Structure 1
Amino acid sequence: MATDYDAPRKTAEDLGEESIEELKTRRTERSSSSSVDEDEAEAAEGFELPGADLSGEELSVQVLPRQQDEFTCASCFLVKHRSQLHHASSTGGQLICNDCAA
């Protein structure tokens, strides 16, 4: 960018006034040019809300009963393999997994 060194210099007040005016015009230009035409109904169709009616849906997962080498944790109530059983006398005879005992 070329600079004209012969042009009269502007004072700090002149620069401050120009910058405020420029900022005001930029703000109005941004607000008028940044409007996006988006249909809210179309945008909301892709979202599923929690608690949606799933009565027409069927599970595609086969559920197996608890196996001989598994236990149900008394804390989190998840079925886990015996290798994840916490071995401590402080559990009071309850079967607790390593994750809940930690």
Structure 2
Amino acid sequence: MATDYDTPRKTDDDLNEDSIEELKSRRNDKSASAVDVDEFEQAEGLELPGADLSNEELAVRVLPKQQDEFTCMSCFLVHHRSQLAEEKNGQPICRDCAA
């Protein structure tokens, strides 16, 4: 629920002036509000321009791990040696996973 922080706040006098019936009706109005949900069928017919990648192949040149790199045993990403934080049980751990 969005909150407008620029609106003036109610004082204690304003809160005491609200009747119980008015507060109950506000609560019922809020709970009765409907949520707008998009149906799956509507999105199914929607086609984005250039989105058909079914015939495309991803061509990436993969380099082997270099001597100054290590594989973190927590996230399994290859990092430069400068990112080595510690070794747990002889397993290298990067700075991100150690934090």
TM-score range normalised by the length of the shorter chain: 0.3 to 0.5
Q: Give the TM-score taking structure 2 as reference length.
A: 0.46
Determine which structure has the larger helix proportion and give its number.
Answer: 1
Determine which structure has the larger strand proportion and give its number.
Answer: 2
Structure of larger gyration radius: 1
